[in-house]
Structure 1
Amino acid sequence: MTVKLLVILLYLGAVFYLGWRGWRETKQAADYLLAGRRMNPYIMSMSYAATFISTSAIIGFGGAAALFGFSLLWLTFLNVFAGVFIAMIFFGRRTRRMGLALDSHTFPELLGRRYKSRFIQGFSGAIVFLFIPLYAAAVLIGISRMIEVGLGVPYAWALVFFTVIIAVYTISGGLKAVMYTDAFQGTIMVAMMLILLFTTYSLLGGVGEAHQTLTDLAPLMPESLKKGGMISWTQGPAFGSPLWLVIYTTIVYGVGIGVLAQPQLALRFMTVSSDRDLARATLYGGLFIPLLTGVAFAVGALSNAIFHQKFGKISIAMAGGNIDKIIPTYIENIMPDWFSALFLMAMFAAAMSTLSSQYHAGGASLGRDVIEQAMGRGRKDSITGSRIGTVVAILMALIWAWVLPGSVIARATAFFFGLCAASFLPIYCLGLYWKGMTRAGAAASLVLGFCSSMFWLLFVHEKEAAAIGLSQALFGQATLVSSFAKGSWVWLLQFVDPNVVALPVSALAAVVVSLLTRKLDPDHVALCWRGLRAKSGEGL
């Protein structure tokens, strides 16, 4: 315990120094909101990746991998393909240049100015502000569970303690403080995950032996998983089964595609000074992201084999039925004490890097996008408004983390990613590539994407609809499709992620309405496209 506390104190000292440095260099709104647009490519890429990969990925989805096995590794593939390759190469350069041409400081402001619409900026900002605390709560739960298991601190105390630490440097230092600490924290995370991967496979006698051992444990899989369609932890679920739909539509597709429209990630593209820096950042991110997610998912699945060898139980039994505790329990019971202390520090890093970015994005959306721009108030001091918004976002996340049930990290994360994809992705992507997008088309896409996603969540998707109870209260059944014959294609819809339906609805609305409505002013479109075809982004 003494070693763990000493390591944590040293780590926090480094974090607060970087936060103080960010505060010292924050003089104006561009510094607070966009880190002065002069961020080093290594810092930008590590900040992007550290914001992307948090305790929700390592603790939450690592725990989910203990249930669903190696099938979650498809999410790692999509994280790299969509979250790094497509995001940085096809979205990053155009986002940076268009954001600079339109003098945009937040993601909702980029959308609002692209379509010359205060409504789009305000509505987008409201979505970010209202729902990013739920995603932040998932991350906060992850680190609090780690503190609870690793240090024996009560869960409620861990929530408050960690929230206060994050609040100090996020509120004061803005995006510079966030990105400086992200880069430091991301470097720590890489080292810890490499050690974790090597140790786990070594304990099982190597890669081949480890996978065979896990395959042989298939008869011990819980009956609930077998009934849902799971075959084994190495093979995954049967095609078309309820769990196949959950894994591949919600976890793989919903999260993997949703990353393209994450406000706190898109904002990173506007913090570097040139396209060359973005290209360098792509290389760093391409190495960092698969390492972290791939390790977490592999170790989560293999934890079943190691727990069974050591204690005669599979992972979910070791964690008392709470998948959010599987990875913390694995670290505390299997790994050496010195690693436990360092891994706890790495989880501090993972949580702090993501939470600070989430709080910053939520606060900026309320302060700049909703209050200052959409409502036309508080224009004299953007920094103060954003700081107040950050405080509110932090408090909302703390409340969510306090009231949400167990085993919720992966679900809450998937919900936010899917909601962002349905609401923002079509108007973001088409706004970067299609001059024919209109204000009406963007507004229709935004509203229909959001509403269809929420409708499916509240009335069709079984996990959330049953828990919220609105469908039960209004229609007398857990979901609108639960009364259909079990196994039919209609009955199976309750396991299909909202994003599978909402994203096509949003994209179709964007194209159809844009083709039928008045085009934007040609001069404004020309301004948006300024510099997009230049050979170099230097100095733009």
Structure 2
Amino acid sequence: MNLSVLIPLLIVYIAIMSGLAYYGYRKTNTEADYLVAGRNINPVVMALSYGATFISTSALVGFGGVSAIYGFGMLWLAFLNIVLGIFVAFALFGTRIRKLSADMDVFTFPSFLGERFNSKFITVFSGIMIFVFMPAYTSIVLIGGGRFLEETLAIDYNIALLVLAFIVGVYVISGGLKAVMYTDAFAAVVMLVMMVIFLFGTYQAVGGLTAGHSGLTALKELVPDALAEQGHQGWTSMPVLGSSIWWTLVSTLIMGVGIGVLAQPQLAMRCMTVKDDRALYRSVLVGGIFIFFMTGAVFMIGPLSNLYFYNATGEIALSVAGEMLILSSRHLSIT
């Protein structure tokens, strides 16, 4: 990593994020501003904030590796992310959530559920569930950021983690949801631009759209025996219907993740931040494009990495990754 390039970019990025956080802080005057962004947030900002909250390191890195194993079949997950995670979440569920939360004058998801079903138990129980389990989710995201800072800036991991947590904590606590959504939207724009470049760069590296797909199809015979025995038919085909790998791909990954997104309270809360249904409908297009280039691009780049590494080294990505893991473990044992 070239620190002479990284550090100035990091300073500019932090400065912009700090400015947006301060702007959110200045615009936060009431309880509604703090908890639901005043119910008048711009639909584009809402869609980008929703997308940035939706997508995490696990999607960009972890699912990239998963798609390198399962192939283009993972694109069905991107399809569900767009149809269910964006269209259904905004145009169907979102409109009801927005209207009910405004009618009941509630600002949090637990209070929304409690008022909707007239149950104090539901309010308390859902609040406890969020209080208990959300820190685990948040900690995973912070750990990823801390490890990135540790490697790129060559600083102690604990210091990196504390610095990152402090910065995030300051603007979340002081600026409320407005500060969070403004900074989310900017981060989403950076993510979108970089992923578009990454996707087109990958296709260019493998010879283009047609050559890339036909070349990847031709690598069918290089599928590891362990995967072929479970029903893997190549990276451009779905696994054998009903096979063990088909069930893993469809039930656990595509349906589990694609449908499960509707149950995330931090995403449902975003629908309470716009002023009317029209704003939610406008958010669908922006959110759909963003999710396509986040998840869809990852699920195309992952399988194509097998072709890229085969052209460069004569081995598919899975073999190269395995060798890198072995070399890393040997390095760690030596040090």
Instruction: Tell me, yes or no, whether TM beats 0.5.
Output: yes
Matched, 1:188 2:210: no
Paired residue type of 1:294: G
3-state SS of paired residue (2:233): strand
Q: Distance in 1 between matches of 2:324 and 2:164?
A: 21
1:228 Cα deviation (Å)? 3.2
Q: Which structure has the higher relative contact order (CA within 8 Å, separation 6+)?
A: 2
Q: Distance in 1 between matches of 2:321 and 2:160?
A: 18
Indicate which of 34, 38, 41 corresponds to 1:39.
41
Q: Which runs of 5+ in 1 are unaligned?
A: 324-540
1:296 Cα deviation (Å)? 1.1
1:222 Cα deviation (Å)? 3.3
1:129 Cα deviation (Å)? 2.3
1:315 aligned partner: 317
1:141 Cα deviation (Å)? 4.6
1:142 Cα deviation (Å)? 4.3
1:280 Cα deviation (Å)? 1.3
Question: Cα distance 1:267–1:150, how it changes in 2: closer, same or farther (>3 A)?
Answer: same
Question: Cα distance 1:221–1:132, how it changes in 2: closer, same or farther (>3 A)?
Answer: farther
1:211 aligned partner: 213
3-state SS of paired residue (2:70): helix
Paired residue type of 1:106: T
Q: Which runs of 5+ in 2 are unaligned?
A: 326-335
Contact 1:56 1:138 in 2 (8 A): no
3-state SS of paired residue (2:106): coil
Q: Deviations over 1:331-377 (max 9, x none)?
A: xxxxxxxxxxxxxxxxxxxxxxxxxxxxxxxxxxxxxxxxxxxxxxx
Matched, 1:233 2:235: yes
Indicate which of 126, 130, 136 corresponds to 1:134.
136
Question: Cα distance 1:157–1:234, how it changes in 2: closer, same or farther (>3 A)?
Answer: farther
1:83 Cα deviation (Å)? 1.0
Question: Cα distance 1:154–1:224, how it changes in 2: closer, same or farther (>3 A)?
Answer: farther
Q: Deviations over 1:69-106 (max 9, x none)?
A: 11110001001110111111111111111001111111
Query: Counterparts in 2 of 1:407-422, with a 5 A limit?
Result: none
2:264 aligned partner: 262
Could you state the TM-score of these two structures normalised by the residue count of structure 2? Answer: 0.88
Matched, 1:293 2:295: yes
Q: CA RMSD in A?
A: 2.3
1:205 Cα deviation (Å)? 0.8
Q: Distance in 1 between matches of 2:309 and 2:26?
A: 48
1:172 aligned partner: 174
Would you identify which runs of 4 or more consecutive aligned residues in structure 1 move more than 6 Å?
none
1:170 Cα deviation (Å)? 1.7
Query: Counterparts in 2 of 1:326-405, with a 5 A limit?
Result: none
Q: Deviations over 1:235-267 (max 9, x none)?
A: 142222222112111111011111122101110
Question: Cα distance 1:141–1:70, how it changes in 2: closer, same or farther (>3 A)?
Answer: farther
1:169 Cα deviation (Å)? 1.6
Q: Distance in 2 between matches of 1:63 and 1:86?
A: 28
Paired residue type of 2:26: R
Matched, 1:305 2:307: yes
Paired residue type of 2:230: G
Question: Cα distance 1:313–1:6, how it changes in 2: closer, same or farther (>3 A)?
Answer: farther
Which segment is superposed worse, 229-238 or 281-290?
229-238
Higher helix share: 2
3-state SS of paired residue (1:32): helix
Could you state the TM-score of these two structures normalised by the residue count of structure 1? Answer: 0.56
1:109 Cα deviation (Å)? 1.4
1:343 aligned partner: none
2:81 aligned partner: 79
The number of residue pairs the alignment matches comes to 323
1:132 Cα deviation (Å)? 2.5
Matched, 1:12 2:6: no
Question: Cα distance 1:223–1:125, how it changes in 2: closer, same or farther (>3 A)?
Answer: farther
Question: Cα distance 1:191–1:144, how it changes in 2: closer, same or farther (>3 A)?
Answer: same
1:276 aligned partner: 278
1:96 aligned partner: 98
Question: Cα distance 1:240–1:93, how it changes in 2: closer, same or farther (>3 A)?
Answer: same
